[in-house]
Structure 1
Amino acid sequence: MICLLLLYLCLETDVMVNILFFAKSRELVGSKEASLSIPAQTTSAQLLAAIVSRYPSLAIISNNLVLAVNQEYITPDNSPLSLQPGDEVAVIPPISGG
């Protein structure tokens, strides 16, 4: 029983991650970086939802945002993530060029 309780507590622990905003996301948020407390065990979709919830100005481009954790792109679905304190989450908006 104690092992199950410890497992539950480990799964429910929040971690503080560093959020980096680039290009249009930086303009919309008004900052180049921030911190966010999020459950250590989450999904890519939940991570995006938490960021947009904290920064509602991102809602207008949320369907086109790409996230990277520790400089590795993550898929925009419900793929499980295991976040560690201090992880770096990049918010990358659509980029156009010519």
Structure 2
Amino acid sequence: MSDYQVRKSTAWHHHMALVMLSLSFLVKERIQQKGSAPLLSARDIRLLIIAMLLNDPDAVDRRLASMNIRHEQRRKDIERYDKEHDPDNANDTG
């Protein structure tokens, strides 16, 4: 925000209000979808909204399929990391 420039303080306040409103929406969506999509990101939500605004059901389906593939890969990476760095599974050489 240090480079954000407006001519009047009301423009800055309007911008900040929109930023807070959009952040609130993103947080609520992530909370609501936590059970079905625990790895849902702000980028995922943004891309889904864009696909919906294009009014193309195929675009939404493609975006969801792509998102699910990426989430599955991410989940596997998280599990692999946890397995490699779990102190309970470390070999004790002492």
Superposed pair shares fold, TM > 0.5: no
Q: Which protein has the bigger helix share?
A: 2
Q: Normalization by structure 1: what TM-score?
A: 0.28
Larger Rg: 1 or 2? 2
Q: Per chain length, whose mean CA-contact separation is higher, i.e. which structure has more relative contact order (CA < 8 Å, sep 6+)?
A: 1
Q: Normalization by structure 2: what TM-score?
A: 0.29
